[in-house]
Chains A and B, each alone.
Chain A
Amino acid sequence: MFYAVRYIGLLFVFSILSILAAPVQAADACGKVTIADMNWSSATLIANIDHFILKNGYGCDAEIVPGDTMPTGTSMIEKGEPDIAPELWSNSLKAAIDKGIAEKRLRVAGKSLTDGGEEGFWVPKYLVDKDPSLATIAGVKANAKMFKNPEDPNRSAFMGCPAGWNCQISAGNLYKALNLKAAGFDLIDPGSGAGLSGAIAKAYERKEPWFGYYWAPTAVLGKYKMVKVDFGSGVSKEEFINCTSNADCENPKVTMYPPSTVETLTTESFAARAPEAFAYLSKRGFKNAQMNDLLAWMEDNQADGDIAMEHFLKNYESTWTPWVSAEVAAKIKKALASL
């Protein structure tokens, strides 16, 4: 759940939206569809692609609404709005989503990132190029002195995960399990996702040492090449679920992060009234390598979601045509030509 809520205000926006949108449920075909546009690049891109394809390929009255993992998930469960969450990192909300599925309020369409999300502790590539031992946790600990903590010259800085995000728990437990405290590292809270990426950008622009938590696929890791630090422990999914990701894990053990499930989630009412559009959503998914490329392109061109959507639909035709029927693909190409 590290893509967490930053503004509770969004919740209010959603509740207002749901009041406004409730009466407009077209009986035929797809009708009005709201798509949550999460506030990070890959989710924005997918939301815009869904918007264009649903609108032009399936005749939906699609609309993009702002969202974020927690408020969108909660609002979908409680209010049935918005209809689609195109990129939901569902580990954070697992219990609530399972309940929603059991109560026939939600349906999982498919994986939006087929490889799953990648989390870990990272160091910039330029450090590893200079000293390859820094790609392992032993090397990082041995060189703790170089990761200076600006607020305490005697300590080192390990940049954790922002307050309240789920990864704060897992990163905190791994910090304990890896004995980083004894190695001289203080766990620093960057406060927000923007703070964390800003800290990486600052270190990278000046080629300073940096050591902390991040995840992929993201524009930050597309742009700033980082190396995932190897804990030398392999992945123990069981340990991660039972202990590392739990706040009251008493005796955490070292494990690498298992891949996170990243799904497309829809409301049951949408899935029932528009089975064809739902079928498209269940096929639509990206490989991490491809998403990193797209995100780096977005970053280089400072593109927002709809420009990146156009870039993707025009240049990656072989990727998206299998997601839809030939007839729908023709409609989309026609709409694309008139953009």
Chain B
Amino acid sequence: MADASWLSAFPAMDRSDLLAIRKSLDGGYRAFSRTYGDVIESIFDPLLQFLVWFERLLLDTPWWLVLICVVGLVYLVSRSWKLTVGVMVAFMLIGYFGMWENTMRTMSIITVCTLLSIALGIPIGIVMARSDRTQTIVTPILDVMQTMPAFVYLIPVVMLLGIGKVPGVIAVVIYAIAPVIRLTNLGIRLVDKEVLEAAAAYGATPSQRLWGVQLPLAMPTIMAGINQTIMMALAMVVIASMIGVKGLGQPVLKSITNQYFTMGLFNGLAIVALAIMFDRVSQAYARRTQKHMKGGNDA
């Protein structure tokens, strides 16, 4: 095309070149999954076993025992009767409306996802806070993870690991880990320089400064990050169920397919109830630990 068509149409790459790129990348990925798929799958096997075990635990334990454990945990963590009673009522309603099993499944996978996000996210956040170079590298990666439509990486992950829990957990963690990393980084960076200098003057080693000064002072911000992570993990429940993760997402999918609005609403509300529960409990916990800390600082 030697004419001046580039003035009216963008001089795009030739269709056959583009096709060659697309085909070779796809082919490369297929070859990769054929060669390394089994190895990668076996690496994730312990995680799968744990997920299966945890779900079975929540499902096989009698409902009242689970309820007692959850409510007890909520009270221990929050020390608030109002919240505890609220959680109990929410769970009773969920069970009464026949969503107990799915709620347990969702709770098990969300708990694992949250713990995994925290276990991976906080160390990454700490490293990021200590090195500006790491920060400039990690920030754009986090942007990609948060905005890339989930299906773009879900289906390649399915080709690698099959459908089910593990790809679901990977998808949820990719999406939900960003806030805890960002806010850990921010929280540590916001700690007063003077406080750090004072700690150094008392002869604190870098690790003592990290564990004794930076992390405690950054705690409120980190807790806010964990909070956001929990919320985002729950928001991904429906997407995860699109690759065969059982739980509250599946009835939601089923109801939007068949336009069963009430069924969708009930299961959606159960997800909301779980989210509010996780949120209020973690916030109450954060407030309590903060209170202790404040007392300590003032003295």
Listed in ascending order, the chain A residues whose CB lies under 8 Å from chain B are 4-8, 70, 74, 150-152, 162-165, 168, 188-192, 194-196, 198-199, 201-202, 205-206, 301-302, 307
Number of interface residues of B (CB under 8 A): 38
Cβ-Cβ contact count across A and B, 8 Å cutoff: 100
Tell me the complex Cα distance, A164–B155, Å. Answer: 20
B250 contacts chain A at the CB level, 8 A cutoff: yes
Residues B49-68 near A (CB distance < 8 A): 52
Distance A127 CA – B158 CA, assembled complex (angstroms):
22
- Tell me if B34 and A205 are in contact (CB < 8 A): yes
Q: Is B151 on the interface with A (CB-CB < 8 A)?
A: yes
> Within 8 Å CB of A188, what residues of B?
163-164, 244
Residues of A within 8 A of B165 (CB): 151
Per the bound structure, the CA–CA distance linking A307 and B15 in Å amounts to 10
- Chain B stretch 200-216: residues in CB contact (< 8 A) with chain A: none
CB closest residue in chain A, given B165: A151
Q: Chain A contacts of B34 at CB under 8 A?
A: 205-206
Q: Given known contacts A191-B241, A194-B242, A202-B37, is B160 in contact with A164 (CB within 8 Å)?
A: no
- Centre residue among A5, A151, A189 by max chain B CB count within 10 A: A151
Chain B residues near A74: list those with CB within 8 A. Answer: 259
1/0 per residue, CB under 8 A from A, across B163-190: the answer is 1110000000000000000000000000
User: How far, in whole Å, are A164 and B158 apart by their CA atoms in the complex?
Assistant: 21
* Alpha-carbon separation in the docked complex, A198 to B38 (Å): 16
CB contact under 8 A between A191 and B30, given known A4-B257, A8-B256: no
Does B48 sit within 8 A of A, measured CB to CB? Answer: yes
Asked if B154 is at the interface of the complex by the 8 Å CB criterion, the answer is yes
Q: Which residue of A lies closest to B26 (CB)?
A: A302
A151 touches B257 (CB 8 A): no
Are the CB atoms of A198 and B257 closer together than 8 Å?
no
A-B contacts, 28 of them at CB < 8 A, read A4-B257, A6-B257, A70-B258, A150-B48, A150-B164, A151-B48, A151-B52, A162-B253, A163-B241, A163-B250, A164-B258, A165-B257, A190-B244, A191-B241, A192-B253, A194-B243, A195-B158, A195-B244, A198-B159, A198-B163, A199-B158, A199-B162, A201-B159, A202-B160, A202-B161, A202-B162, A205-B37, A206-B33
* Any A CB within 8 A of the CB of B255: yes
Known pairs A70-B259, A199-B158; A206 contacts B37 (CB<8 A): yes
Q: Which residue of A lies closest to B30 (CB)?
A: A205
Q: Are B259 and A163 in contact (CB under 8 A)?
A: no
